[in-house]
Structure 1
Amino acid sequence: MLPSFSYLGEHAGFRGTIKNSPSDFVVTELEAPELLLGDCRAELLRSSPRPGEPKRRRTEPSGPGRAGGGCAACPGTSEREAEPGLQSGLGRAPVLESLLGEPASELLGKFACDVKDAWGLENSADAGAREFSLGPRLDKKIRADLHSAVRQKFPFLLTLTKDNEMIVKGNPDYRELCQLVTEKETSDFFKFLDAKLENSTFSFEPDGNKEHRKTVHHFINRKFGKLLETKSFTTTDVNDQPNTSITVRFRGKSGSRKRCAGGFQEKQDVYTAFTLQKENLETLEAIGLLAAELDVLPSDFSYTGIKDKKAITLQPMVVKKVTPERLKELGNKMEKKGMKIHNIRPAYQHLRLGQLKGNHFDIIVRDLQHHSHDSSADLKERIAEAVESVKTKGFVNYYGPQRFGQGQIVQTDQIGLALLKEKMVKAVKLFFTPEDTDDPVNNAKRYFLQTEDAKGTLVMLPEFKVREKMLLRALNRYGVNDEGCTKGWLNIPHSLRIFYVHAYCSKIWNEAASYRLKTYGSKVVEGDLVFLEENDENISLNDKVHVVTASEESANKYSIYQVVLPMVGHSIKYPSNKVGQWYHERLSKDELELCKFRVSPLQLNIPGCYRLILKNVQNLSYFLESSEKEIKIEDNHLNDLEVSLHISFDLDPSCYATVCLREIMKCDF
């Protein structure tokens, strides 16, 4: 898996096999929203009882690795978590802090206060000129969530996008309306305006002054007349006195909204949340099967991370344009394809990659043995010392084999490298390189490489191979040339296009981590990059990556657990020691020394980030089980018994259980 790569501990380890069957490797997302996850894991484990399984405890996130999931700091990016926000009937918006991160959120809050203070000054010339940048946001969905989250929390602010950079400034319309009505009414009005719920109305407080009402009508029509319509309604209060107030609603649009007696007919997107339990399937393959069955696009599904194929995995998902009733109609139909669907219910928005808090693993390691060079010690002692070592020291935070396509002839990083070099035809042919098996999918791939007949290949491919079909449709239309292959890649969702490039960046990171540990060991040296746990909330995540000085090395100021290495990209800094030089030589080897890490034809932008070299495992527990149930393992050596290791632990996002097991066992899989 990671040949010649470094180990952290000095324990001897042991041998064993994993993933003998999917039930030997159960993955459950940690701290997913309860509405999505429910009690599926408990149901699963009840259906496959494991005698003596230790109870699992959950702890709050800790350590610098939590700041940005697997990356300690990401320039221009943040953990993309969406949670219910507004509780007022105006809909739900993502929590701003989880989208921006706490430091940036605090800076935005300070800016908002400054804007309000400037408005309070009589002759503040620069009040309207103040701007605050949220940095580049390339993903349109992320930008939309941020626009909504900022305006819902600070309705007096205006958000703009300039060349993918999000800018925040004071909203002069808000300030003007504040001079006509109360600030609470103004705030509620702009929240209503931003929520854009088609079947909703907003009413100002009763106003007996006709001229004043006329001024408010004129203001709304002048500023928002294309979107809103206003009308004054008169009612009587408990004392039979007339009260007149202005009510606002959204205008109808031909073809999209229909007038009816109750107002407007809603045409909003429908979102349905569910928990996907899959077995021996890749996440994207499972989505392809579901999309084909439901007659929607794979891009209509959202999830927080990719899960192992050779495992039983449980993860929350949200699908757009499918009602809960329709999803329930699938019933047991998908079970034959290795999937079960639990906890179906309405949702309000998509999930985001990186939203998860981590994963819990329940793993069985079978066929336990000594390493060939270590036959003298008691195997039970070897297991105990290995577990204790990883509990204490952690493990090297390598990307695992599923990042690259374990066992495939062409791994995903090779495709990513071709895309970075803008060799579109080569990337397509790598994508369609078949495995050494005789099945419909690989036969179709062989046919395509031999004939370049995209139309014929489309007929041969099964329906669930959605990515392949998307690419082939463009190739059929535009040809298997540079233009056609570029159009083909653009036909695949952005998250999948960039997946291949990220795989290449991950491969380089793995090699860099191995080189760093072999060159300097566990000592923090001059030129290393460290992640600082600063309490100053005004410091951005990127500014928390610090270059170690000679005096700091001499004073042993930093721990190896604070050292990060960059994931290559255009907005990161490299270590200023031998490791930095290694990066430049390694990229030069792949002819990327001049790479801008932007693939404009494919709308790919790779800013880079920083990833901690070492990570710790949480809630690690284990027990041993013999096939001879009457034998007590505690009273016997394991050497002559058929024994399995049952091990459970929690890992942070972007950490790999197979990598943690590799460290425990000192064994490549």
Structure 2
Amino acid sequence: MKESPYALERELGMQYYATSTLGIGGTLRTAPEDFIVDEIPLAGKGGTTGPYLICRLTKTNWELQHAVKEIARRLNISHRRIGWAGTKDRNARTTQLISLYKVTPEEIAGFYLKDIILEPVGQSNEQLSLGDLEGNRFDICIRDAGPEDLAGRVAAVCETVSQALPNYFGLQRFGVIRPLTHRIGELILHGDYEQAVVTYVGQAFPHEIDEVRRVRTVFMDTRDPAVALRELPVQMSFERSMLSYLHARPGDYAGALQQLPPKLLSMFVSAFQSYLFNCALSHRLASGQTLTDPVPGDRLIFANGRTDAVTAANLPAVTLHLARGRCTIALFMPGKDEPDAITGNDAIRDILADMQITAEDFRKASTFVRTKFDGAWRPIALRTVVDASVDETTVRLKFTLPPGHYATTVCREYMKADPLRMV
């Protein structure tokens, strides 16, 4: 195990690597084609009838929320009529299914948008929802890696990846250029809608263009939506929708937040849940516990979603189940439903207590966002078989992950580089 030296990773709770090998460095996403993601749909999803048109969406260098909003605009429908199973990377070439309510194949035939392809593949009686997928296949190139014993270092990490890595939520879960989605979620949980809007619109980050940073800073200082509306680029549609609302209804920050697409609004709170998980997982590793060795008080999650507690009495049987891949140790991401009182969640309880956030705050956020935040168990270990090849200073990685697992969590283990070189 090795501690991350990068402040951004530590700030997001990603404090450790599973391996102590020297990182290969390099850069991800030199071009979108260096990061290819193909969604694996659920077997039997869809059919030949129903009001939802299922389309295969292939996009290059598009953030999903913006792509959906632009698709809706071109088709002259509400973005709320579009559903999807998983949120894919922006700086990548990705393929996934989306559902469109009461849209015909003929309308799709006339659709055109640069770097986006829509292909009808069937109909369904149900909208696609988050989690309606088997997983994702990745084909990733890391370029300009350090050449010294490159094949040996890659092979060593491949061995560890097949056993267990910390199952962190990756940087893109919190925002790539502006990693603050979890902070907006925290503010929503506190009911501080004004500060949530001001932070989302006004918090500037170093890697944004200078003009955008300037406008954000002015808004942060003045909270004048009129000035920001005049000067923010038109493509910053989410910020502009909130500012337009505030300009018409001064002081209604709750209403301004609710101008965002529901799925984006819900992602703020779920990003905070992800942050809590990362912090608790790092706390476990810092305490000397491992990803695969159970201790009494741990919680197990099985493939069917069933959970069970580890006790001194069942420890031998649990160890055997873990070794055979029947279950994995899990941590609870809290929500409006509190978990059983078990040792494995002490770190999360302490963090929530420090932040003065309770289950009632999640219940209020559920009402405000109109999304259930029930809480969920998540495996602490990520494991996959990686097909790796090395060509001079380029490393190619092919692997498959279940839903909700992050390819960048795999890549960071090889690279051990500044996280901004992975986005």
TM-score, normalised relative to structure 2: 0.83
Match of 2:4 in 1: none
1:24 matched to 2:34: yes
Match of 1:499 in 2: 267
Question: For the residues of structure 2 that align with 1:358 and 1:312, how far apart are their CA atoms?
Answer: 16
Contact 2:57 2:119 in 1 (8 A): no
Q: Secondary structure at the match of 2:346?
A: helix
Candidates 646, 656, 662, aligned match of 2:406: 656
Tell me which amino acid in the other structure corresponds to 1:653: P
1:341 matched to 2:341: no
Tell me which amino acid in the other structure corresponds to 1:576: I
Calculate percent identity across the aligned residue pairs.
27
Q: Secondary structure at the match of 1:359?
A: strand
Match of 1:381 in 2: 152
Match of 1:523 in 2: 293
Match of 2:239 in 1: 468
* Alpha-carbon distance, 1:554 to partner: 6.2
Candidates 46, 70, 77, aligned match of 1:289: 70
Match of 2:176 in 1: 406
1:609 matched to 2:376: yes
Match of 2:332 in 1: 566
Contact 1:301 1:317 in 2 (8 A): yes
Question: For the residues of structure 1 that align with 2:79 and 2:142, how far apart are their CA atoms?
Answer: 34
Map of 1:185-224 to 2, 5 A cutoff?
Answer: none
* Alpha-carbon distance, 1:464 to partner: 4.5
Tell me which amino acid in the other structure corresponds to 2:55: F
Change (3 A) 1:581 1:384: closer
Change (3 A) 1:328 1:443: farther
Tell me which amino acid in the other structure corresponds to 1:571: D
Match of 1:363 in 2: 140
Match of 1:153 in 2: none
Tell me which amino acid in the other structure corresponds to 1:285: H
Q: Secondary structure at the match of 1:399?
A: coil
Question: For the residues of structure 2 that align with 1:15 and 1:447, how far apart are their CA atoms?
Answer: 37
1:547 matched to 2:306: no
Change (3 A) 1:274 1:464: farther
Match of 2:91 in 1: 310
* Alpha-carbon distance, 1:477 to partner: 3.3
Contact 1:9 1:390 in 2 (8 A): no
Unaligned runs of 5+ in 1: 35-81, 93-269, 535-540, 626-641
Match of 1:417 in 2: 186
Contact 1:506 1:567 in 2 (8 A): yes
Q: State which structure, 1 or 2, has the greater radius of gyration over its C-alpha atoms.
A: 1
Q: Quote the RMSD (CA, aligned, Å).
A: 2.9
* Alpha-carbon distance, 1:514 to partner: 1.3
Cα distance per residue 1:149-183 (max 9 Å; x no partner): xxxxxxxxxxxxxxxxxxxxxxxxxxxxxxxxxxx
Tell me which amino acid in the other structure corresponds to 1:30: I
* Alpha-carbon distance, 1:461 to partner: 4.7
Match of 1:508 in 2: 276
* Alpha-carbon distance, 1:568 to partner: 1.2
Q: Secondary structure at the match of 2:395?
A: strand
Question: For the residues of structure 2 that align with 1:602 and 1:386, how far apart are their CA atoms?
Answer: 41
Cα distance per residue 1:599-638 (max 9 Å; x no partner): 24444542100000112214x312222xxxxxxxxxxxxx
Candidates 320, 342, 345, aligned match of 1:576: 342
Tell me which amino acid in the other structure corresponds to 2:24: F
Match of 1:427 in 2: 196
Contact 1:415 1:501 in 2 (8 A): yes
Tell me which amino acid in the other structure corresponds to 1:324: P
Contact 2:32 2:92 in 1 (8 A): yes
Change (3 A) 1:585 1:20: same
Question: For the residues of structure 1 that align with 2:108 and 2:213, how far apart are their CA atoms?
Answer: 31
Cα distance per residue 1:254-290 (max 9 Å; x no partner): xxxxxxxxxxxxxxxx644332222222111222332
Question: For the residues of structure 2 that align with 1:458 and 1:297, how far apart are their CA atoms?
Answer: 23
Tell me which amino acid in the other structure corresponds to 1:368: A
Tell me which amino acid in the other structure corresponds to 1:622: A
* Alpha-carbon distance, 1:660 to partner: 1.1
Match of 1:278 in 2: 59
Question: For the residues of structure 1 that align with 2:150 and 2:250, how far apart are their CA atoms?
Answer: 60
Q: Secondary structure at the match of 2:175?
A: coil
* Alpha-carbon distance, 1:446 to partner: 4.5
Tell me which amino acid in the other structure corresponds to 1:369: G
Question: For the residues of structure 1 that align with 2:170 and 2:223, how far apart are their CA atoms?
Answer: 33
Question: For the residues of structure 2 that align with 1:517 and 1:438, how far apart are their CA atoms?
Answer: 38
Change (3 A) 1:22 1:323: same
1:585 matched to 2:350: yes
* Alpha-carbon distance, 1:30 to partner: 1.4
Change (3 A) 1:464 1:347: farther
Tell me which amino acid in the other structure corresponds to 2:84: Y
Q: Secondary structure at the match of 1:274?
A: strand
* Alpha-carbon distance, 1:401 to partner: 0.5
Change (3 A) 1:553 1:33: closer
Change (3 A) 1:16 1:435: closer
Contact 1:405 1:411 in 2 (8 A): yes
* Alpha-carbon distance, 1:351 to partner: 1.5
Contact 2:280 2:347 in 1 (8 A): yes
Change (3 A) 1:330 1:584: same
* Alpha-carbon distance, 1:581 to partner: 2.4
* Alpha-carbon distance, 1:555 to partner: 6.4
Match of 1:189 in 2: none
TM-score, normalised relative to structure 1: 0.54
Contact 2:301 2:328 in 1 (8 A): yes
Change (3 A) 1:668 1:556: farther
* Alpha-carbon distance, 1:387 to partner: 1.5
Contact 2:55 2:97 in 1 (8 A): yes
Contact 2:310 2:318 in 1 (8 A): no
Match of 1:102 in 2: none
Change (3 A) 1:446 1:7: closer
Match of 2:9 in 1: 2
Change (3 A) 1:465 1:347: farther
Q: Secondary structure at the match of 2:133?
A: coil
* Alpha-carbon distance, 1:487 to partner: 1.6
Question: For the residues of structure 1 that align with 2:146 and 2:192, how far apart are their CA atoms?
Answer: 47
Change (3 A) 1:565 1:271: same
Question: For the residues of structure 1 that align with 2:263 and 2:169, how far apart are their CA atoms?
Answer: 18
Candidates 160, 165, 170, aligned match of 1:395: 165
Cα distance per residue 1:7-52 (max 9 Å; x no partner): 3345555332211121111111113679xxxxxxxxxxxxxxxxxx
Unaligned runs of 5+ in 2: 1-7
* Alpha-carbon distance, 1:595 to partner: 4.6
Map of 1:438-453 to 2, 5 A cutoff?
Answer: 438=209, 445-446=216-217, 448-453=219-224
Question: For the residues of structure 2 that align with 1:667 and 1:24, how far apart are their CA atoms?
Answer: 17
Higher mean alpha-carbon deviation, 320-329 vs 361-370, is at 320-329
